[in-house]
Amino acid sequence: MTGEVLEPSIATVITGLIGLLAGGALVLFMMRRHVQRTIRQPLEIIENTTAGIAQGAVSARIVLPEDADASVTQAALAINRLADRAAHDIEDMRRLERVRSEFIANVSHELRTPIFSVQGYLETLLDGAMDDPDVAIPFLEKAYLNAMRLNTLLNDLIDISRIESGELKFSFRYFDIVDLINELVHTSEIRARQANVTVHFSYDDARSVYGDKERLSQVLTNLIDNAIKYNVDGGRVNITTSACDDGVRIEIADTGIGIPEQHLSRIFERFYRVDKDRSRAVGGTGLGLAIVKHILEAHDAQIELTSQAGRGTRIVFTLRSGEQV
Ligand code: ADP
């Protein structure tokens, strides 16, 4: 009796167990498939794509199937963001590298011209021209002018590299801008007379500005020099300082050759010149306006340049005003 009762129940248990095992195996199989599809395969995609990115495919990004596990998808998105930032940084580095090599090429080119000239004049003198005073004197003068050009160029290069590397420290204080401009106008008189250009300066009561006097003197010298250099015979340069809401407004306007519109957007770039031959002939280096812009930026002063070819150029910027000096 007991055996009869036992037999079916063992069978039932065994059947049940087999069923359970089969069910368990099926669940396990389904789970494995799910894990395979939602975790393992996406992880493989991540591994392969990141390996590709590391080998230089900087634009490659991880694309996962829609049913990938949420946390794996989050990780993939984070890696993609990182790759975006790295690609952006690499592009920036490449751009800087291009700018640097362009700059070096420009510098070499600019240095070569006066060095070759000095070399040429001295060689001709040594080859016998020294004995002929009619040739010797002008050649020596030309060699000297080119040596001066080299000196100006090197000074501008040193300035621009010190400003751009942040090495140049500015020393801010209050000073009288009217006194400074009067001095500079006085210093420019010989150059203006040689070019047959007259320089006028008018001002109101606003005299005290806050800035680096030496550097602003460099800015003003550069702008006044340009207004004289790129002027016409009998032309004028009008300098005006006046009080305005934000400080003291400084304007340098000339009646010179002006700058054709297509050049205006690039005029503050290093070595950019409208007419290279004219710039060289008047001792330009092509770095003046780039230096001016950097110095004014350090004073939070925006430079505005308007110009019309054949009519003249007007440059305006505002310096912070201060207590009465
Ligand atoms: P440069 O040493 O050649 O004068 P700048 O950087 O001072 O270099 O000026 C760049 C170029 O902008 C000049 O070569 C010239 O073509 C143009 N330029 C600058 N100022 C004036 C101006 N007042 N009138 C006409 N052209 C100007």
Q: pLDDT for 12-44, tens place per residue?
A: 888 888 999 999 999 999 999 999 999 999 999
From the CB of 292, is ligand 1 less than 6 Å away?
A: no
**Ligand 1 center from residue 261 Cα (angstroms):** 14
Q: pLDDT for 238-269, tens place per residue?
A: 999 999 988 999 999 999 999 999 999 999 99
- Count of Cβ atoms closer than 10 Å to residue 89 Cβ: 10
Structurally, at CATH architecture level, domain 173-319 sits in: 2-Layer Sandwich (3.30)
Query: Rounded distance, CA 221 to CA 188, Å?
Result: 8
Residue nearest to atom 14 of ligand 1 (CA): 273
The pLDDT score that the predictor gives to residue 1 is: 47
**Ligand 1 center from residue 175 Cα (angstroms):** 28
Q: Which amino acid, one-letter code, is at 305?
A: L
Tokens of 62: 């991880």
The pLDDT score that the predictor gives to residue 91 is: 92
Query: Rounded distance, CA 178 to CA 185, Å?
Result: 10
From the CB of 256, is ligand 1 less than 6 Å away?
A: yes
CB 291 within 8 A of CB 160: yes
Smallest CA-to-CA distance from 300 within 155, 156, 170, 160 is with 170
Residue 112 burial by CB count (10 A; 0-12/13-18/19+): exposed, middle or buried?
exposed
Tell me whether domains 107-165 and 173-319 share a fold: no
From the CB of 273, is ligand 1 less than 6 Å away?
A: yes
Provide φ and ψ at 302, rounded to 5°: -85, 135
Q: What's the angle, vertex CA 178, arms to CA 312 and CA 311, rounded to 5?
A: 5
Beta bridge partners of 297: none
The pLDDT score that the predictor gives to residue 12 is: 86
The pLDDT score that the predictor gives to residue 13 is: 85
Give the pLDDT of the chain (325 residues) as one tens digit per residue: 444 555 668 888 888 889 999 999 999 999 999 999 999 999 999 999 999 998 988 899 999 999 999 999 999 999 999 999 999 999 999 999 998 898 899 899 889 989 999 999 999 999 998 999 899 999 999 999 999 999 999 999 999 999 988 888 999 999 999 999 999 999 999 999 999 999 999 999 999 999 999 999 999 999 999 999 999 999 999 999 999 988 999 999 999 999 999 999 999 999 999 998 888 888 889 999 999 999 999 999 999 999 999 999 999 999 999 765 5
Q: Which amino acid, one-letter code, is at 268?
A: F
From the CB of 235, is ligand 1 less than 6 Å away?
A: no
Q: What's the angle, vertex CA 114, arms to CA 110 and CA 119, rounded to 5?
A: 135
Smallest CA-to-CA distance from 238 within 207, 264, 273, 200 is with 200
For the chain, what is the radius of gyration of the CA atoms? 37
Q: What is the pTM of this model?
A: 0.76
Q: What is the domain partition of the chain in residue ranges?
A: 2-68, 107-165, 173-319
Q: Which residues contact 302 (CB under 8 A, 6 or more apart)?
A: 296, 317, 318
Query: Rounded distance, CA 177 to CA 183, Å?
Result: 10
From the CB of 215, is ligand 1 less than 6 Å away?
A: no
Q: Which amino acid, one-letter code, is at 27?
A: V
The pLDDT score that the predictor gives to residue 164 is: 86
**CATH number assigned to the domain covering 107-165:** 1.10.287.130
Q: How far, in Å, are 104, 257, 270, 315, 320 from residue 262 at the CA level? A: 25, 15, 17, 17, 32
From the CB of 286, is ligand 1 less than 6 Å away?
A: yes
Smallest CA-to-CA distance from 173 within 308, 306, 311, 320 is with 320
